[in-house]
Structure formats: structure tokens, C-alpha cells
Structure 1
Amino acid sequence: MFDSPKIEPPVSAQEIGASVIDGQQGAFRQTVQAKIRGGVSKIELAGGYEQGGRPAGSSSYGREAREELREIARQNEVTFTSVHSPTHVGNLSGFNPQARKFNDEQRHESLEEIRRNIQFAAEVARGGAVVVHTGEFPRVMEEQPWSQNGYKFLGYSEEPGRSARFMVDDRTGQVFETVRKNQIVYEPDWYTAKEFYDDRFKQTKDDRWKWTGKDREGRTINPTDLIDLDGRWIDEQDADRLIERVPKMDDKGQMQTAPRDWDYFEEKAKIWDKKYPREDGRSWRPEEMWIRTMKYQEIGQSRGIANYYSHGVEDAVKQREKIKEALKFYEKLEASIPEDEKWKIMKQQRYSEFLPPETKEPSKWLKESLRETERRIRHAHDGASSAMARANQAVDDLRHIVPIAEYGKKRTFLSYAEAGIEAMHQSNRVIDGKKIDPIFVAPENIFPEMGYGSHPEEIMELVQQSREKMVELLTKPKVDSLHWKTDKEGKLIKEDNPYYNPDFANNPEKAREIAEQHIKATFDTQHVGMWKKHFQPLFLENEHRWETPEETEKRFNGWYKEQVQKLADNNIVGHVHLVDAIDSGHGHLPAGQGVFPVVDAVERFRKAGVKSIISEGHGEEHMEMGRQQTATWRAFGSYIGSGMYGSFSGRPTRWPDVEKSYFHYKAGPAYFVFGAYAPSNEWKLWSEVPLE
């Protein structure tokens, strides 16, 4: 007899649903009825792609088709538990990996697709989950908080030394790679405060240059702060003062440069956390320090060019005025002198010792000098103004270049909050004379390499912060511009909030309750198992050895269960995709046919009140039709009815009791004959008379 897991009470066959995909094996009408005949009572409707020119997805079903699906469910006493959005909706941040850009139009189109699926869920499923794949933006696994707390994850083996860091221009959404951890960058070696004071004291023996921890104006400063030639503190965030930094010079009078590695920028970020703490509590990132270093060099170079061009411009302007006065004088003089006397005031100019001198009237020489002076002034003006414009542009860029996570999370949380509000509105509808069940938008943890939202702790943050954003939208009359309008400093302006609801403004706890009802995660049991390929073995210090693969697998399964329990305890999950896998690749095996603790995960979620469970274990349907459900029922020891069928003890009947049996009698083992003992496959009459 099958040794079923100790789940009290066991998961019944009716509790485990199945998914059908529109377009792959026909329209929902055909695929739904096929699942019903296979004994399924809960079904997820998954939007697909067009097949052979036939439209697919929620938009291809009109009013009558939607009514027909509701009638199929009613007549067969089945429930549509969820609607799965098409997989081409890969995120709600708008991130386009091909263009390496956050695209506003893509975010809008994805959100509109989710709204259409929410409406479809209202009109066909009469409530339930609307599943959306995450994968919001790229991030480096090994530096995430969840990879620092005893469980180490690596995206790939070279990640600690060669991983790239991404920044975003929040004006355009353009993503660019800033630096890789193994890169070395050079910058001028500037004097720090203590170095400068110590050097000056050594040179002058003047007690005023003794290091006391204060600058020449009495301001308390740190030893690593920057300083100007007068010993005054320089604010590193003030780009106008950076030009006053003091460079170190070598014995040849050349400016020294210093190599900067990733450790330097990590340490500088920690210093800035103390020196320039942010109002929102966010820490400075090493990549921000890197981009500031590069931009400061750009600013310094541009301003240096501007100063170079500006040098002597004032003198040139004064010279121009003098030339103009002299020209006026000589023009009058030349007009008053007879032609045969002008030779007396002629001036010679020699361009080269190898060329004869040229003789001209003074006014002509002055006109040429005036043109040359004006040309130099225009050249200096153009060069200086262009260089200053580049410097000022770089200063402005610094206000808009932000880490990818900071930018991407804002857009993701806003999108899910807006989708949650749409789910709230659709949940108030009355269909066929009855108020529908609550609809919730359900972000699903996708493959680890797809980016933010795939790790269990990321999906928890996504859900929690999206709920908070939804509460803000429901309760605040003015919010940061949803149209991304900014002031002159690049900060989002406050605008009237189109989602504001006075009823919730007076009752924020009710708004929070509503947000929790309409934003819940979908937990895919197999996608979490894919983290196994990124899970790093431990070095056991006491035993001076690395973990064995078996020990690592055991520890991974412990981590898996911890994550499930954390999600369950925090009321994050509302829907489960029940799938197993034999390894860390992407598989779709029925529960119990793989190596992951998926049965344990479902038990934990059931105890937390999660009732929407869908089997996506269709990977062995080629072996045996219906195995997606039957193998899953066996793994759970599922009840299928009362004791009359398959058991005469009066206790409820479980699927393992009757699988492959005939009126209580279990089929015996199969026997096969191989090799020379096997009968020939060539069929003949007993008389061996040929048929022809």
C-alpha cells in the first residue's frame, strides 16, 4: 500500500485543480471539458498565443463565449480558480531586456493586459487569482540581502569578481552598465584634510597647520574629507567647489593619479552613509560612488577646458576696443593725407624671414587685427560656453542617475497597486444575480535568472510594498506624479490622485485590509526549486571540508521549507502552482515525481488558509493521460470519496487505495519476457497456411 504523507486531513482530489492553456490544444471550451472528464473540479484558465491564426487569450472571448464558460462551470460543478496572464507579460516595471531600457509604453500595455484579464476573471471565473509572471529587472544575486544571511547564492561562478552593476537615467529609463567588480579606474589623487595639514605643517612649521580635527574656519572635519588650498572643508556634493580640490604632485611637477578598485568604492559608500545620510534611509551604493567619480572627472575636465578658453578673453575684449579706437583714428588720418604722402605712414609686417615684408596702410593692418581678435573671442566664447554646458549637464545627470533597483521597484510597486485597485473595483460586480468573489492580482515567482521577483524574499517584498502603495493611492489626495512629471530639480511633483477615496482616507486600516485582499502572490513550487543550481555549498570549518552534495541538498530543502513558512506566516500567498522537478532545471512533473518538498509546501500553505492549488505537472502526460492529476493525488494520498468504493472499512477512500484497481481488486505486477524467450512479433495461422 502507498505510504501517504502525514497530512491531517489529507488534501482531497477536489482541492487540487489543473491548468488549461488557450490555443495549444484548442479553445477553453475544449480544454476545460477535457479536464472535467479527467476528474478535475478546479481549473486555471491560462492565456496563450495565437495558434495557426486562431486568436487566443481573454480578448478573443466575447460576451456569449464568456457566458458559455460560466455555464460549463455551473453545469459541471467546477470552479475556475484563476486566470493566468499570457507569458509575454514578463513584468510590470516596463523593463525591456533587449532595449536595455524601462519603457513607459511597455509598462502601460502590460498593465492594460492585466486589467483585461482581471475583467475576464470577473466575468468568467467570478473571482480568484490573476497570475502575472515577475522578472522585473536584473540584479546581482551574490550581493542581495537574502544571500548574506547564511544561505549563499551565485548567479554564475564568475559573479563575485566580474558581475556588472546597472544604473538608470530616471528621465529616460535608459539602463547602462557602470562598472564590473574586477575593473580598476583611475582618478586624480587628491589631498585629504589630514594629509594636507600634515604636509603644510611639515613644510612651514606653522602651528596653524597642526592637525586638530578642524579646518581653518573652525569646522569639525574628518581626516578623509577634502580640503582647498586655504585649508577649508569641501562639500563633495557641491560640484562648484570640487574644482578647488588640491591635487598631489610628483617630483616632476605632474599630478598624481590613484587606482580605485571595487573595495575602495564600497568603503566610500559606507563613509557617505555617515557623512551624507539620505532622508529615506537608503544606503549609498558602490556603483553610485563609481559613477560620481567618473562624472566628477567629466565635470573637472569640462570646467578646465572652459577656464582655458576663458583665460585672456577679458584682455582680448579690451584689446578689441583699443583696436577699434585706433582704427577710427587712422581712418581719419589716412583720409586727410594725400595719396602721394601716404607712404609716410605705411607699416610693414614680415610673416617669415624667408618671405618679403608686406606693406599696408595702418587701417588695413588694424582691420585684420580686429578680425583676428574677434575670431579669438568667438572661439573662446564657443569653447568655454560649450564646456560649461557639458559640465552643468554632468552635474544635472548626477541627480538623475540612480541604481536600477531604486527605479525598477517604484514602477513595479505602482503597477501592482494600480492592478490591485482594478481588482477591487471588478470584485464589486454582480454577475448572474450574484456578487462575485474577491479578485486578486497574483505575481508569480519566475525563474531565478529572470531578475527581481523570483526569489521568495523578493516576492514577499513586492507584495508588501505594492500593498503599501495601494493604501497610499486609496488614502492620499495628492501623490507623486503618476505621469512622472518633475520640477526643475528633477523631483516628482505632487498631483491630484485619481485613485483617492475619502472613505478609505478616514479608515486607513480598512484600506490596508482591502490591499491584502487584492494583492497576493502565486507561489510556484518548482520555480523555487530552480534556486538549487545557485545554492552554494558550505565549507565546514570544524571538519575542514566542503559539504557533500547530499548535505547541500538537505540544507537546500531546509531553506525551501523556511521560505515557504515565512511566506505563509506573513500572509503573502493566495494561489499555488503545484509542480515538481527531478533537478534544478525547469520541469513540469507531477507532485511526488521529483526531488523537492512540494507536498510539505502545500501542507504549510493549507494551514495558512490558502485554498487555491493548481497542478501544473503536465510533464508526464505523454506517458499516461491524466497523470498530471492522478500522480498528484497519489503523492498526497488524496481522499476521493466515502468508503463504499475501494474500501469496505467505512473510512474515506484515498486515491492510492483504488489506483489501477478494479472493484477493490488491485492489479498485479506486470510481467515481461525478454530476449530469445519472447514470442515472435510475426503473426501466423496455427496451420501456417499463408493468407494469400
Structure 2
Amino acid sequence: MANNIAGDYYHTMDQDYNTKKTEFQREIGTTVFEGAEGRFHQSVQAKIRAGVGAIELQVGGQGENTGAESYGKEAREEIKKLAEMNEVDIHSVHIHPGYIGFAGFDAQRGNFEETARDANINEAMKGIDFAADVTKGGTIVIHTGEFNRPMVSGFKEFEAYEGEEYAADVFFADKESGNVQKLARDVSIPVIERELLVDAQGNAILDERGEKQWKPVWKEDAPVLKRKSWFTYEDELKKMGEGGFREKYSIPKDWKGNDLPGAALMFEYFNNQLEGARAQYDRWAEEHGETVRQISALQKRIEKQKAKEDELKARNDPALQEQYVQHPVSHEMVLKSQLYGENLRRAEGELRYRQELAEEARRNMEQIKKQKDNLSPIKDVALKRTADSIAKLGVVAWEKTVEKKLERPLTLAPENLGPWQYGSHPEEMVEIVDASRKAMVDRLTKEKIEDPTGAQVFNEKSNKWEPRLIPNPYFKKQFSGAEGERRAKELAQKHIKATIDFQHLQMWNKYFKRKPGESEPQREERFNKWFTKEVEMLADKGVIGNVHVVDGFGRGHVHLPAGQGRAPVKRALEILREKGLDVPMTSEGWFEGPSRQITEPWELEGKQMYTPLGTYNFSRDMMNRQYGMYAPTYLFGELAPHPEDFTVWSEVPLE
């Protein structure tokens, strides 16, 4: 432990300590785990004896006798009273980190699953209920990690590995089914070159949907074929501009993704399939029409031939023999009308066959077209589901706050986790909080909402697919009208915020790109500026509701005490104080033991404990005796060694 501050202390009468007055010891709490440290009754008491003023309870997972619901009413009341009697604030409850993401993304199946989303919502509900019983209000920490995404998707100063920008996958999702599709940037697809279809005056010719049509370009007897990758489309975007690029590849105006080259690549991939299905449909539809014409001609020929044969039969005319022909298969002599009838039946069979093939091609074409229309940036699909999940949790947190008459609001605070997952970058944290607050307002103010799973219904009148509206069980009449909406927005601001974990933010250091000619210390210095700038941005946006004070070096997931890694934790805390931020802060630096988890954050800003016994002595320092490895000067009670431990073998008294 660094003792630079304690080293300046000489005597209690000295005045020049140069330390600012702070309530740091009371502000910075510590994590209390369930499981390895025992039940909360034991672990909370242990932290209280250590002198902490605030704690964050981290509940266990699905193991036996762990988790929020393994504590009954009396047990919860006991935990709450234990903290109150010792003037310790339980300021937050931390959901088990095994429950990651609230969009329902299933990494193994590679899609968004409602069962996975519901499981995480349910676990957070347990945490809200537990926090309502054991705290006076505070934050419920849940974890982001909505889906895995390339580091280069939107963050130019980061990359997962050198050359990622050339090999990264482009992810999209079906906004209705939740199925995820991907294409690699460096993989090319065959594309027929197209040009705009225009009339004699040069005006674009529109299809039945009012969209411009593009026709394939042919040279001599073959279409012009090119192979295109993500980079081909990127170059094209730079030349054409966004407007022309969107128009050429029919990228919808409401397409919010910033990866337009990826959108064009995926759209062209579907266009290839669509054109193949359309060609099949056109072929069978044309053959179907030709067969219909053949049947019509055969029916007329049969009718005419049969009338002629009947007339000859009626007159018993020998000329009837001329109407017989040899059957091509049986070689028997049959009337022409009979042969024509067989041809008709064969044509009718071919008609049904071609009709079924045309119908199948049409269904396939419509299915591909629907898949293309459902194509959406994976972030949009995930964010809609995540926002709805947190919105519902926010409503329940507000209801529990009112029911229990808590001093502080219960606040959902999603925490940034791994840099490789959406929701860990500060900008993504803001997106999640803003979208969740908006969704909470909708949940409180609207009787019906759009299905968050993206389900659609077909409108026969408009001939379009539209979002399905579902009943909203969280709607409350008291939030109707403009005034109700204003109150709903205020509640959303209170009950949905974010948890900033300094070590998780420091993990972005590993992916921070080095500039040409830059040394490693220079890169570190530049990253630290980025770190503190992002913390300041989050504070200015008003989204921080909880802080994990923990350190690390940035190349792995660790929990070092504050000040023991390279993260600019001290400067980040100064920024939050300068901004007047008053939110729960918790030390999660438990890697070096429970005592340093408590003392190192205090050391970072200047501890208010020291020895009054003259010049500084390491072994007599308060921090090293009370919280470290050295025994205090006076021991009594259970702490004192047993007298028999200090006797000789003969048991003769030492005196």
C-alpha cells in the first residue's frame, strides 16, 4: 500500500497536513458477495465490523440456497435492520453477472429469443423486489451485452485486432423473427451490373410499388457480371453520396444503421436470390399461359372434330373411316377426337404441374422479398427489445418505490461490460438509457404499443405490412394527456440510469489503436484522455446512477483496488465530484483481499485515519493494523492469544 499521505503525518498537533476534508470513507462503499463469503447475514456483518459506511449486495446465481428469493421476509428485515443499527447504507443491489443482456440474444443459436429475454427480466425482477425490502432505495445493477459486434463498427479509434476493418463480419437481423445473418467484409458476391430503367424522356420508370426499376446490363450475349465486397460498396458510397447510394440500392430512409455499405451488400445478396426466384416464376408463369392457350385450342378442335364425327355417324357415311388415325403408343386405330381428348388431358396435367411450380416460385419470391424488407441493423432489433425490457423493469421499480415508501427511488442501472458487446461503449450506454426511458414513457402512457418483438400484420387496405399493436398491461390512466406524459418522463429519468464501471471502461485500452510513430506511453496518455472525456460526457448527459470504483491495466477483466492499476480513477472521481454527482459508489477491487478493497479507495483521495505516535512507522499505521497484517498495540477478548500459547514445555512460569 502506498503511504505517501500517511508519511506526512508527524503529530496530532501538527496543522500542515495538506489534506482536503472529505466524507470519502462514507461515500465509497464495498461489494458484499453472497456465496463464497457466506449468506448476506454473515458477509454484511463482516463488512460492518471493517468500518464501511455503504455496501452493494451482489446476489448469487441459480445455485442452491442462493439468490434474492432464498431470503424470506424476516431474513430481509434482519439484513435491513442490521445495516440501519450500524448506520450503514445498503445503496445498491447487484444482479448476478451470469445474466447478461436484455435483448434476449442467444449466442449459441445466433438469434434473439424471447425465452432468454424473459429469463433475464425475471432475474432483475427478483433483484428489484429484494432491493425494495432491504434498502431505503438505490440502484439495481444489471448487465449490458446485447450482442457481440465488431470493434470497428462505429468506433474508428478502436480495433479488436490489426486488420479487423478488412475481415470483420457485417451483422443484420430480421426485425420480426430475430434471426441474425452475417456477411464478412472481405467476401465478395457475384452481382449483375444494373442501370436505371427510364422512358423516352429520360424519366425513371416506376414499378407497381412506386419504386424505381433497375435493369441488368448486357454486353453482347451475356450479362455484365461483377464481384462486389463491402469495400466495393464503400467506394461507391463515397462517389455517389448517401442519397444516390440509398436510392440505387433501395435502402429505406428509416434505416438507422451507419453501415450503409454493409446494407447494400446484404440487399444485393437478397436481390440475387430474388432475381433467381423471379426468373423461375416468370418461366413457369409463361409456360402456364402457353399451356392455357393450348388447352383452349384443343377444346375448340375437339368440339369441332366431335361435331363432324357425330354428323358422319348419323348419316352412316363411309367417310367416317377417314377420321380414324393410328394411336402413337398403342398403334390402334382411334378417332381423332379421342386422340385430341388424350392430348387435352395431358395438357391439363401439365397445366397443374406448371401452375404449382409458378405458385411455389411466387411464394419463394414473396418470402425472399419479405426477408429483405425485414432486414434491419442488428443494433435496431436489439435496442428495441432491450429498451422494452428495461422500461418494464423501470415501471416495476417505480411501483415498488411507492409501495414501500422508500426514501430514494429504486433505479435500474445497466452496467457497461465487455468491450466486444453492444452496451459497453459510453455512447451505447447513452443510447440504451435514452431508448429505455422513452419506452418506459410509452409503457405508462399508451394503452397499446408496437410489439417489441417486431411482429407485423398485413394491412389489406394499404397492401402493406405494419407493426402489430399489443395491449399494454403497464398502462395507467393517470398518465394520460400532456401532463401525464410529462410526469412519466420525470419518472423515467429517475428510475432508469446507468452504472459506469471504471475497470470495464479501462478494458477498452486493449483495443485503442496506436498511431504511426507513437510510443506506448503516448498511446496510454491519449487513452486516458479519452477515458476521462467519456466519463465527463456521461455525467453531462445525466445518465450515471451508480459507479463501480475499481482499477485495472486494461488488457483483461480484473478487480484491482482503486489506484493499483493504470485507469485514471482518481481524475474520473474528481470529474464526477466537480459535476456534483451524488450517486452510490462502490469499491469492486477485491482481487487483493477485502481489506485493500476498502482502504485503497480511501488512500486514493486521502484517508482520514493516521497514527498520533510521532514520526511515521509503517507497523503502527492505522491502515496496516486495523485493516492490514499487523496486530494492534492492545489486544483483548477473543483477539488476545491464549495464555497457554506462551509457556515453555515444562509449564514453568516465565517469571
Query: What TM-score, normalized to structure 2?
Result: 0.83
Q: What is the rounded CA distance, in whole Å, between the counterparts of 1:655 and 1:521 in structure 2? A: 41
* Alignment of structure 1 residues 238-277 onto 2, 5 Å: 238=209, 242=213, 245-251=214-220, 253-266=221-234, 267-268=236-237, 270-272=242-244, 275=247
Q: What is the rounded CA distance, in whole Å, between the counterparts of 1:237 and 1:340 in structure 2? A: 60
The answer to whether structure 1 residue 314 and structure 2 residue 292 are counterparts is yes
Deviations 1:415-460 (A, max 9, x none): 2222111111111133xxx6442110000000111x1110112112
Deviations 1:470-526 (A, max 9, x none): 234334455434575533133224556542453474334443332221111111110
Which has the larger displacement, 261-270 or 305-314?
Answer: 261-270
- 1:441 corresponds in structure 2 to 412
Deviations 1:365-407 (A, max 9, x none): 2232122211221122112121122222222222212111111
- Structure 2 counterpart of 1:137, from 131, 141, 147: 147
- Structure 2 counterpart of 1:282, from 256, 279, 291: 256
Deviations 1:301-344 (A, max 9, x none): 22222222232133223234235425644774797698999765
Q: What is the rounded CA distance, in whole Å, between the counterparts of 2:211 and 2:337 in structure 1? A: 45
Deviations 1:205-241 (A, max 9, x none): xxxxxxxxxx535xxxxxxxxxxxxx55144894987
Decide whether aligned partners of structure 1 residues 240 and 658 sit closer, same or farther in structure 2, where only a CA change above 3 A counts.
closer
Is the CA contact 1:122–1:436 (under 8 Å) kept in the aligned structure 2?
no
Q: Tell me the percent identity.
A: 30
Amino acid at match of 1:13: Q
- 2:169 corresponds in structure 1 to 164
Aligned-pair CA distance for 1:568: 1.5
Is the CA contact 2:255–2:376 (under 8 Å) kept in the aligned structure 1?
no
Query: What TM-score, normalized to structure 1?
Result: 0.78
- 1:16 corresponds in structure 2 to 28
Amino acid at match of 2:508: W
Is the CA contact 1:273–1:283 (under 8 Å) kept in the aligned structure 2?
no
Q: Secondary structure of the equivalent of 1:398? A: helix
- 1:633 corresponds in structure 2 to 602
Is the CA contact 2:611–2:620 (under 8 Å) kept in the aligned structure 1?
no
Is the CA contact 2:551–2:563 (under 8 Å) kept in the aligned structure 1?
yes
Is the CA contact 1:167–1:403 (under 8 Å) kept in the aligned structure 2?
yes
RMSD: 3.4
Q: Which runs of 5+ in 2 are unaligned?
A: 7-17, 459-463, 632-647, 650-655
- 1:531 corresponds in structure 2 to 508
Aligned-pair CA distance for 1:71: 1.9
Decide whether aligned partners of structure 1 residues 656 and 122 sit closer, same or farther in structure 2, where only a CA change above 3 A counts.
farther
Amino acid at match of 1:122: A
- 2:645 corresponds in structure 1 to none
Q: Secondary structure of the equivalent of 1:411? A: helix
Q: What is the rounded CA distance, in whole Å, between the counterparts of 2:359 and 2:19 in structure 1? A: 76
The answer to whether structure 1 residue 647 and structure 2 residue 638 are counterparts is no
Aligned-pair CA distance for 1:131: 0.3
- 1:96 corresponds in structure 2 to 106
Is the CA contact 1:647–1:657 (under 8 Å) kept in the aligned structure 2?
no
- Structure 1 counterpart of 2:336, from 344, 353, 362: 362
The answer to whether structure 1 residue 615 and structure 2 residue 579 are counterparts is no
Decide whether aligned partners of structure 1 residues 9 and 558 sit closer, same or farther in structure 2, where only a CA change above 3 A counts.
farther
Q: Secondary structure of the equivalent of 1:91? A: coil
Q: Secondary structure of the equivalent of 1:574? A: strand
- 1:499 corresponds in structure 2 to 475
- 2:431 corresponds in structure 1 to 461
Which has the larger displacement, 413-422 or 337-346?
Answer: 337-346
The answer to whether structure 1 residue 512 and structure 2 residue 512 are counterparts is no
- 1:48 corresponds in structure 2 to 60
- 2:623 corresponds in structure 1 to 659
Amino acid at match of 1:2: N
Q: What is the rounded CA distance, in whole Å, between the counterparts of 2:572 and 2:612 in structure 1? A: 29
- 2:443 corresponds in structure 1 to 473
Decide whether aligned partners of structure 1 residues 192 and 344 sit closer, same or farther in structure 2, where only a CA change above 3 A counts.
closer
Q: What is the rounded CA distance, in whole Å, between the counterparts of 2:503 and 2:341 in structure 1? A: 84
Q: Secondary structure of the equivalent of 2:491? A: helix
Q: What is the rounded CA distance, in whole Å, between the counterparts of 1:486 and 1:382 in structure 2? A: 28
Is the CA contact 1:429–1:436 (under 8 Å) kept in the aligned structure 2?
no
Q: Secondary structure of the equivalent of 2:431? A: helix
- 2:270 corresponds in structure 1 to 295
The answer to whether structure 1 residue 579 and structure 2 residue 550 are counterparts is yes
Decide whether aligned partners of structure 1 residues 247 and 523 sit closer, same or farther in structure 2, where only a CA change above 3 A counts.
closer
Aligned-pair CA distance for 1:538: 1.2
Give the count of matched residue pairs. 599
Q: What is the rounded CA distance, in whole Å, between the counterparts of 1:554 and 1:646 in structure 2? A: 36
Deviations 1:26-48 (A, max 9, x none): 21112111222222221111121
Decide whether aligned partners of structure 1 residues 110 and 476 sit closer, same or farther in structure 2, where only a CA change above 3 A counts.
same
Decide whether aligned partners of structure 1 residues 359 and 280 sit closer, same or farther in structure 2, where only a CA change above 3 A counts.
closer
- 2:185 corresponds in structure 1 to 181
- 1:200 corresponds in structure 2 to none
Amino acid at match of 1:535: F
Q: What is the rounded CA distance, in whole Å, between the counterparts of 1:236 and 1:554 in structure 2? A: 57
Aligned-pair CA distance for 1:631: 2.9
- 2:530 corresponds in structure 1 to 559
The answer to whether structure 1 residue 593 and structure 2 residue 564 are counterparts is yes
Q: What is the rounded CA distance, in whole Å, between the counterparts of 1:345 and 1:320 in structure 2? A: 16
Q: Secondary structure of the equivalent of 1:506? A: helix
Decide whether aligned partners of structure 1 residues 236 and 362 sit closer, same or farther in structure 2, where only a CA change above 3 A counts.
closer
Q: What is the rounded CA distance, in whole Å, between the counterparts of 2:345 and 2:99 in structure 1? A: 64
- 2:652 corresponds in structure 1 to none
The answer to whether structure 1 residue 120 and structure 2 residue 130 are counterparts is yes
Decide whether aligned partners of structure 1 residues 14 and 334 sit closer, same or farther in structure 2, where only a CA change above 3 A counts.
farther
Decide whether aligned partners of structure 1 residues 349 and 485 sit closer, same or farther in structure 2, where only a CA change above 3 A counts.
closer
Q: What is the rounded CA distance, in whole Å, between the counterparts of 1:134 and 1:600 in structure 2? A: 25
Decide whether aligned partners of structure 1 residues 324 and 306 sit closer, same or farther in structure 2, where only a CA change above 3 A counts.
farther
- Structure 1 counterpart of 2:577, from 582, 606, 616: 606
Q: Secondary structure of the equivalent of 1:427? A: helix
Is the CA contact 1:18–1:629 (under 8 Å) kept in the aligned structure 2?
yes
- 1:77 corresponds in structure 2 to 87
Aligned-pair CA distance for 1:160: 0.6
Decide whether aligned partners of structure 1 residues 436 and 239 sit closer, same or farther in structure 2, where only a CA change above 3 A counts.
same
Decide whether aligned partners of structure 1 residues 504 and 9 sit closer, same or farther in structure 2, where only a CA change above 3 A counts.
farther
Q: What is the rounded CA distance, in whole Å, between the counterparts of 2:573 and 2:480 in structure 1? A: 34
Is the CA contact 2:251–2:264 (under 8 Å) kept in the aligned structure 1?
no
The answer to whether structure 1 residue 569 and structure 2 residue 569 are counterparts is no
* Alignment of structure 1 residues 200-211 onto 2, 5 Å: none
Deviations 1:100-144 (A, max 9, x none): 111122222222221221111111123111000100123232131
Is the CA contact 2:56–2:90 (under 8 Å) kept in the aligned structure 1?
yes
- 1:409 corresponds in structure 2 to 383
- 1:399 corresponds in structure 2 to 373
Is the CA contact 2:503–2:554 (under 8 Å) kept in the aligned structure 1?
no
Q: What is the rounded CA distance, in whole Å, between the counterparts of 2:588 and 2:315 in structure 1? A: 106
* Alignment of structure 1 residues 669-688 onto 2, 5 Å: none
Q: What is the rounded CA distance, in whole Å, between the counterparts of 2:212 and 2:574 in structure 1? A: 62
Decide whether aligned partners of structure 1 residues 554 and 387 sit closer, same or farther in structure 2, where only a CA change above 3 A counts.
same
Is the CA contact 1:134–1:443 (under 8 Å) kept in the aligned structure 2?
yes
- 1:679 corresponds in structure 2 to none
Is the CA contact 1:49–1:55 (under 8 Å) kept in the aligned structure 2?
no
Is the CA contact 2:507–2:555 (under 8 Å) kept in the aligned structure 1?
yes
- Structure 1 counterpart of 2:45, from 28, 33, 48: 33
Decide whether aligned partners of structure 1 residues 126 and 75 sit closer, same or farther in structure 2, where only a CA change above 3 A counts.
same
Q: What is the rounded CA distance, in whole Å, between the counterparts of 1:655 and 1:392 in structure 2? A: 79
